[in-house]
Amino acid sequence: MGQRRPDVQFVGDDRVSLNKVKDFAPYVANIRAAGADSLLTGNWGADLSLLLKASYESGLTAQYYAVLGAGFWTPSALGATGTERMKTVYSWIKVGSLEPVKAAHALEGMHFAAPTGDFWMRADDHPFVGPVLVMNFAKAGGAGVRHDVESTGYGWKTEARIGVREAAPPCAVTWNAPAPEPRGAPARFLLASVQQLACCALGE
């Protein structure tokens, strides 16, 4: 990270017990004391909502990059407390058979034309490669926010689009799997992303 972004400095690292913390004010105080202006969090659901609520109530202006900020019901739980304060990253994923080897072989080399760009499963080591969107939770109806999410009055505004060349991780390993069993017609896979985000991302 230091080589790619020498302007970024890590000033703290903290962990939260899942679904056990009810008061995030001490965590927000630590964030403020560290002088952080941006945070990356894997919190979701009630934990994410309470963290953003505590930040909102304390007047902390740091930006939160929530990996799971676009999950179902999260926008409803956040409302105004997440407005212009929370960003999320959004990509597309695919799922299929519950049998890992069958699913892995079926996905190898698969291409999918999503509304946000072309995605594919790299056969060598199996990352699902494609462009990544960075989106800001903002008031619906404003510039770049055409669609309301979950009838909250808020939606997602695309702030950056990271192209495939920048988003794709380097190939570090080669995957060697057992040969798949014989099968008939190719397996069909269902899109497992949050559907409403597709139209939000295109609503700029």
Per-residue pLDDT of 101-148, as tens digits, reads 776 676 777 777 776 777 777 777 767 777 888 888 898 988 889 888
DSSP state of 193: S
The reply to whether the predicted model has a pTM over 0.75 is: no
Place of tokens 């560290």: 34
* Percentage of residues in the chain having pLDDT higher than 70: 71
The CA distance from 82 to 85, in Å, is: 5
Longest dimension (CA), the chain: 60
Per-residue pLDDT of 9-33, as tens digits, reads 888 888 888 889 999 999 999 999 9
